[in-house]
Amino acid sequence: MNTRSFLVNFGAVLAVGAVSILFAQKLPQTPDGHPDLNGTWDNGSGIDFIKPQHLADGSVCVSGCDAPPVAVQTSASAPRPAAARPPRNFPKYRPEYLAKVAQLEKNQLQADPVLHCRSPGLPRIGPPDKIVQQAKQIVFLYDDVSGDFFRIIPMDGRPHRQDVDPSTLGDSIGHWEGDTLVVEANQFNDESWLTDNGAFHSDQLTVTERLRRVGDILEYEAVATDPKVLTEPWKVTRKAKLTDVDLVEATPCIDKDLNHVIDGTHHDNPR
């Protein structure tokens, strides 16, 4: 290596190192040296397409406006036929359960737990809306249509509890893998769905979530494993953005209108 190439390479190494250090310094950390995930995280709640229009007199158009957002205009002329939908990320079921999924999807107005204000369960509930992070435990808070939910995730290395009843959110324990928070949950009941359209699961479900902060973005991944009914693990990914808009107290969920739905019309309702 001649002097010039050495200097070029050395300079490149310095530059990469400087960028790495700069990036590392930008990522907030807790006193115990882990990424700071504390805060309220906005995942869009499925209403990113809503672009309220505000007028000077206090008027607001929430939806159906004369100049709707582009995303709305693209579908303005006619309902999108089912065949034109993008491939949905749907769990792959064992053949013997396909009929059950189809039946649940057909009857989802009656069968879908979240349409009746029940817990969406994991991983349907999605990434946490707020994280309270301590050294020995992390608390996930959720502001969901079905109500407010929480999960307490021990970080001290203890095993799963054996004295809890199965539930829709299961029993969780967490650990760090580098800068990634890994949460493993088991002890589920079979009362929630993985996603919409009849995606039931069994009580053999386990879920592994990975959360990684990149700047003010929270990258979220959940893998649902249920060998009793699924042919392979099912993965969902989401992103959430740090926000200074905090959660508010619980809003009650009280269904009052399903009895008035006369033709079973529904739409995708994933969390």
Name the residues that contact other proteins, by CB under 8 A.
Answer: 43-50, 52, 54-55, 57-65, 68, 71-72, 74-77, 79-80, 85-86, 88-89, 109, 114-115, 117, 126, 143, 145-147, 196, 251-258, 260-271
From its phi and psi, is residue 147 left (phi > 0), alpha (psi between -120 and 50) or beta? left
Strands 180-186 and 206-214: antiparallel
Minimum CB distance to other proteins, residue 201 (Å): 18
Q: Which is nearer to other proteins, 134 or 237 (CB)?
A: 237
Q: Which is nearer to other proteins, 4 or 54 (CB)?
A: 54
How is residue 160 annotated by DSSP?
-
Q: Which is nearer to other proteins, 21 or 258 (CB)?
A: 258
Peptide bond into 35 cis (omega under 30): no
| Cβ–Cβ < 8 Å for 99, 242 | no
Compute φ and ψ for 147, nearest 5 degrees. Answer: 135, -170
Minimum CB distance to other proteins, residue 90 (Å): 10
DSSP string spanning 119-134?
---TTTT-S-SEEEE-
Q: Which is nearer to other proteins, 35 or 126 (CB)?
A: 126
For residue 103, the surrounding DSSP H or E stretch is helix 98-106
Strands 234-243 and 147-154: unpaired
Long-range contacts (CB closer than 8 Å, 24 or more residues apart) made by 150-156: 151/185, 153/183
Minimum CB distance to other proteins, residue 185 (Å): 19
Q: Which is nearer to other proteins, 13 or 71 (CB)?
A: 71
Minimum CB distance to other proteins, residue 30 (Å): 28
Could you tell me which of 38, 69, 40, 74 has the C-alpha nearest to residue 52? 69
Could you tell me which of 139, 122, 226 has the C-alpha nearest to residue 174? 139
Minimum CB distance to other proteins, residue 120 (Å): 9
Minimum CB distance to other proteins, residue 132 (Å): 21
Q: Which is nearer to other proteins, 179 or 221 (CB)?
A: 221
Max Cα distance, the chain (Å): 81
Minimum CB distance to other proteins, residue 189 (Å): 22
Q: Which is nearer to other proteins, 81 or 157 (CB)?
A: 81
